[in-house]
């Protein structure tokens, strides 16, 4: 009897998990559409020569709406990962180009804060590798935008180097280092868990969801790699991850 009850409980738990996944996915889609309208029209209003006071309110509206959209996208993504529904692409892409594009996309934010965004790419890095450029881009974007977000002065450096290689497989170490606020030692071991933020006032001060690192860690691991962090409170942080790629023949896709 005990075994029967156990099987029943397991079935119920599995059904509940499926229902939760479905609910989150439907809700996220339903919320995304109106949120895009809110953001789009806020952008339009900002361009209509508002007064200084109106502009201040519109900026807050834009910040809040964009933050909510990031949260929704993150929940949707995290949910998909937890449900084991993420599929990875295997395409031939230009690694150097991808890193360049991501740096370029985040450069304006860094420059607004007076932070340098340095790139250190190993000479030996192959131009073409086979993997998922969208997911790799998502991980790098998460780490680099965090580094910029949590750094007030100094620099953020992005490095990519060859860790080991043979004729087909090449393992690449990626590193995102900053001279920012750092992460307290007692928070460091939980930092990759979902909805974890190092400081209680982080969301109010910097925005964010506490899902970016959890998503990044899962994506890296699903792609067969590993991720880690070193940080000194008040001095800065270094996030590192390694991924193995098949060598590409020639780069046939350009991303993003
Ligand atoms: P979010 O940035 O959306 O809050 P993340 O999962 O990306 O969520 O990060 C979780 C927390 O880890 C952040 O809220 C912040 O406290 C800390 N953190 C992440 N990256 C850095 C960094 N480069 N420097 C300092 N703290 C960081």
Predicted pLDDT at 83 = 82
Long-range contacts of 28-34 (CB under 8 A, 24+ apart): 28/72, 28/73, 28/75, 28/76, 28/79, 29/76, 31/72, 32/69, 32/72, 32/73, 32/76
pLDDT tens sequence across 231-244: 999 999 999 999 99
pLDDT tens sequence across 77-130: 888 888 888 899 999 999 999 999 999 999 999 999 999 999 999 998 998 999
Q: Please tell me the distance from the alpha carbon of residue 256 to that of residue 252, in angstroms, as a whole number.
A: 13
Ligand 1 atom nearest residue 70's Cα: 3
Ligand 1 atom nearest residue 180's Cα: 24
Of 26-35, 53-62, 145-154, the range with the lowest mean pLDDT is 26-35
Predicted pLDDT at 1 = 74
Predicted pLDDT at 256 = 45
* 3-state SS class at 85: coil
- Higher-pLDDT residue of 188, 67: 188
Ligand 1 atom nearest residue 191's Cα: 12
Instruction: Report how far ligand 1's centroid is from the alpha carbon of 93 (Å).
Output: 29
Predicted pLDDT at 115 = 96
Ligand 1 atom nearest residue 194's Cα: 6
Using 50, 70 and 90 to split pLDDT, how confident is the model at 145?
very high
Whole-model pTM: value is 0.83
| Nearest Cα residue to 75 out of 217, 223, 218, 194 | 194
- Burial class, 23, CB count within 10 angstroms (exposed 0-12 / middle 13-18 / buried 19+): exposed
Using 50, 70 and 90 to split pLDDT, how confident is the model at 72?
confident
Residue 250 has pLDDT above 70, yes or no: no
Q: How many CA atoms lie within 13 A of 198 on its CB side?
A: 21
Instruction: Report how far ligand 1's centroid is from the alpha carbon of 172 (Å).
Output: 23
Instruction: Report how far ligand 1's centroid is from the alpha carbon of 79 (Å).
Output: 19
Predicted pLDDT at 25 = 76
Nearest-CA residue for atom 14 of ligand 1: 197
Nearest-CA residue for atom 16 of ligand 1: 198
Predicted pLDDT at 152 = 94
- In this prediction, does ipTM exceed 0.85? yes
Predicted pLDDT at 210 = 84
Q: Please tell me the distance from the alpha carbon of residue 198 to that of residue 156, in angstroms, as a whole number.
A: 19
């Amino acid at each position: 009897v005990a075994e029967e009850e156990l099987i029943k409980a397991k079935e119920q738990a599995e059904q509940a998990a499926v229902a939760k996944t479905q609910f989150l996915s439907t809700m996220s889609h339903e919320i995304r559409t109106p949120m895009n309208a809110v953001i789009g029209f806020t952008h339009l209003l900002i361009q209509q020569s508002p007064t200084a006071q109106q502009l201040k309110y519109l900026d807050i509206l834009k910040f809040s709406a964009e933050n909510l959209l990031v949260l929704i996208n993150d929940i949707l993504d995290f949910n998909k990962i937890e449900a084991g529904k993420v599929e990875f692409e295997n395409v031939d892409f230009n690694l150097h180009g991808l890193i360049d594009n991501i740096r370029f996309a985040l450069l304006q934010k860094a420059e607004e804060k007076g932070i340098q965004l340095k790139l250190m790419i190993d000479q030996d890095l192959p131009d073409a590798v086979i993997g998922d450029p969208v997911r790799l881009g998502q991980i790098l974007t998460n780490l680099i935008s965090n580094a910029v977000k949590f750094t007030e002065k100094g620099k953020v450096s992005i490095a990519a180097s060859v860790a080991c290689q043979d004729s087909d497989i090449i393992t690449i170490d990626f590193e995102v280092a900053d001279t920012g606020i750092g992460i307290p030692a007692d928070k460091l071991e939980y930092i990759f868990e979902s909805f974890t933020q190092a400081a209680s006032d982080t969301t109010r001060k910097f925005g964010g969801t506490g899902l970016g690192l959890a998503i990044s860690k899962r994506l890296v691991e699903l792609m067969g790699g590993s991720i880690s962090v070193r940080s000194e409170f008040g001095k800065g942080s270094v996030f590192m991850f390694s991924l193995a790629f098949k060598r590409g023949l020639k780069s046939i896709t350009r991303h993003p």
